[in-house]
A = this chain, B = another copy of it.
Amino acid sequence: MKEKTIDYILRSTWMSVTKMYNEEAGKKGSTMATGFALISIDPEEGTPSTALGPKMGMEATSLSRTLKSMEQKGLIERKPNPEDGRGVLIHLTPYGKEMREFSKQVVLGFDEAVQKNVSLEELQTFKKVANTITELVNSKKIYDSDK
């Protein structure tokens, strides 16, 4: 049988993880992206939303929408940032803190399961290759139909 392409492997692997994360989050009425955001928010003090995007690899526009739904679900509160009239400070509600712990367990549980089944060397190689791919793509040293 034909070798699967690299993109196919990457895509199907990530889709599997996505599905699992959404199923876990779904048990508590949450979602994967909400879980990622919860983990990135400091549970003790207000987090400027400008800090969140880069930390979790989400663009401001996607983050804004996620935060809106999180606020509607009572997970966070958005308060004005006294140091920057444009900005917002994100505060976790008690419910948000509770869900944050749950989300952390799901992510850590996944990481641990992988580490139990893959050697350290293999994992390092995996991360290195993933990094190389990201850099290749971002640096445009990759197929470009404009040549």
A-B contact pairs, 12 of them (CB 8 A): A4-B127, A7-B107, A10-B17, A10-B130, A16-B133, A16-B138, A106-B145, A110-B143, A114-B136, A118-B129, A125-B129, A126-B130
Number of chain copies forming the complex: 2
Decide if A61 is an interface residue (CB 8 Å cutoff).
no
- Residues of A participating in the B interface, judged by any CB pair closer than 8 Å: 4-17, 19-21, 24, 27-28, 56-57, 102, 105-114, 117-118, 122-123, 125-134, 136-138, 141-146
A133 and B111 CA atoms in complex are apart in Å by 10
Q: Which residues of B contact A134 (CB under 8 A)?
A: 12-13, 16
- Assess A111 versus B7: contact at CB under 8 Å? Given A132-B118, A133-B16: yes
A118 and B132 CA atoms in complex are apart in Å by 8
CB distance from A33 to the nearest CB of B (A): 10
B5 touches A107 (CB 8 A): yes
Closest to A123 in B: B129
Q: Which residues of B contact A11 (CB under 8 A)?
A: 14, 17, 57
Q: Which 9 residue pairs are nearest across A and B when measured between Cβ atoms? A: A109-B143, A126-B129, A14-B14, A125-B125, A13-B130, A16-B137, A113-B142, A16-B134, A20-B137
